[in-house]
């Protein structure tokens, strides 16, 4: 493999997990830069590639006709040489409860710069620990990321839970010529709080109702003047594989910001605790005065780096995931990020502004449309 000029990445620094792999693989693919990542997930209890990381890598390899070396479970070093990004249908199956949302994170930036529309068929866990729930992706991530002038259609075919997975999501995206920068600095006032508490499989609907009422009680202590509507849902049998439960609560603001809190049920954890956990996460996200919540921060970094112009996003305390995404986005692209403490009166002392001079990546595959 002609990788003499490969960008060398140390996968063990900072957050030290799969995220480094996702950000650097996507950018390698977009910039056509060969990549070598070593010390993959060095700090994790099971170091090296897990099934979800490997299926994400293989999908990117497939969608750009790239070459991948070291692509096997447990591998701590990979070399990736990207080719040309093509549209069409791409399938990734973790064959576990590995998160479909994380598969989406690695593939999405790539297919935006394909030559034709793409369909990603992603199989695995839809509501899994240590990853965004698919409901978060649809209810929060999608409407906000579309502000970069892209279109994301996400169809949940079947939900899948830990430990079996078995879920399937279909993502459809047309290519873009270029991404627009965003300005997400004005939080506005909270106008609406809604959500869904779900059970699937063998679990009784009472659990969902208990999660919902515990969450509502918790929110009411702090926010008294808003109607809080959290539906309790039993997932239809055909649309869920295995048993699972959880909750997501979303706050909408007067300026169109969306902030969330979520939690998953598991054996030995009371429904009340699940509901309260999600409510407290939401309230924490509302307290810092940021225009995005703590889970959206890092997911926006790659789009800010690619956009044409200056993006500004107001956040709460900068997470390690976000610092990591910024580090690798700057390393691989010419984007420049600055993080400053937010000085305005409304914000708490924990609010920050992430500013990025994006690179204005152009879709070379679409250039013929201009002539």
Q: What amino acid positions are annotated as catalytic residues? A: 321
Sign of CA dihedral 195, 325, 38, 67: positive
> Rounded to an integer, what distance in angstroms lies between the CA atom of residue 75 and that of residue 24?
17
- Which tokens is 66 given? 């790239």
Rounded CA-CA distance 268/23 in Å is 35
Distance CA 292, CA 114 (A): 28
In three-state form (DSSP H/G/I as H, E/B as E, the rest C), the secondary structure along 24-59 is: HHHHHHHHCCCEEEECCCCCCCCCCCCHHHHHHHHH
What are 19's two structure tokens? 């995220």
Can you give the three-state secondary structure of 88-99, one letter per residue? EEEEEECCCCCE
At residue 319's C-alpha, the angle toward residues 313 and 325, to 5°, is 75
């Amino acid at each position: 493999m002609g990788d003499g000029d490969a960008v060398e990445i140390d996968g063990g620094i900072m957050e030290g997990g799969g995220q480094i792999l996702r950000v650097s693989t996507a950018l390698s693919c977009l910039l056509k830069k060969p990549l070598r990542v070593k010390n993959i997930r060095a700090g994790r209890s099971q170091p090296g590639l897990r099934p979800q990381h490997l299926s994400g890598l293989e999908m990117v390899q497939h969608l750009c006709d790239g070459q991948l070396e070291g692509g096997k479970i447990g591998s701590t070093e990979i070399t990736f040489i990207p080719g040309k990004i093509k549209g069409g249908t791409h399938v990734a199956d973790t064959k576990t409860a590995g998160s479909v949302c994380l598969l989406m994170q690695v593939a999405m930036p790539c297919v935006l710069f394909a030559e034709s529309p793409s369909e990603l068929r992603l199989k695995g866990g839809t509501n899994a620990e240590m990853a965004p729930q698919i409901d978060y992706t649809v209810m929060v991530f999608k409407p906000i990321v579309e502000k970069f002038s892209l279109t994301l259609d996400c169809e949940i075919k079947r939900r899948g839970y830990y430990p079996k997975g078995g879920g399937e999501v279909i993502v459809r995206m047309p290519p873009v010529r270029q991404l627009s920068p965003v300005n997400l600095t004005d939080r506005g006032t909270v106008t609406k709080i809604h959500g869904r508490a779900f059970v699937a499989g063998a679990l009784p609907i009472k659990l969902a109702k208990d999660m919902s009422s515990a969450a509502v009680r918790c929110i009411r202590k702090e926010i008294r003047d808003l109607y809080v509507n959290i539906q309790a849902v039993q997932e239809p049998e055909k649309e869920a594989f295995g048993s699972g439960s959880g909750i997501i609560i979303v706050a909408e603001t007067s300026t169109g910001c969306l902030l969330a809190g979520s939690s998953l049920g598991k054996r030995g954890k009371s429904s009340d605790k699940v509901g309260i956990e999600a409510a407290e996460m939401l309230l924490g996200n509302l307290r810092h005065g940021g225009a995005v919540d703590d889970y959206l921060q890092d997911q926006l970094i790659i789009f800010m780096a690619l956009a044409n112009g200056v993006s500004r996003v107001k956040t709460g305390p900068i997470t390690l995931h976000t610092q990591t995404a910024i580090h690798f986005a700057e390393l691989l692209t010419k984007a420049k990020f600055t993080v400053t403490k937010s000085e305005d009166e409304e914000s708490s002392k924990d609010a920050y502004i992430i500013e990025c001079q994006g690179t204005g990546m152009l879709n070379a595959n679409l250039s013929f449309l201009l002539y």
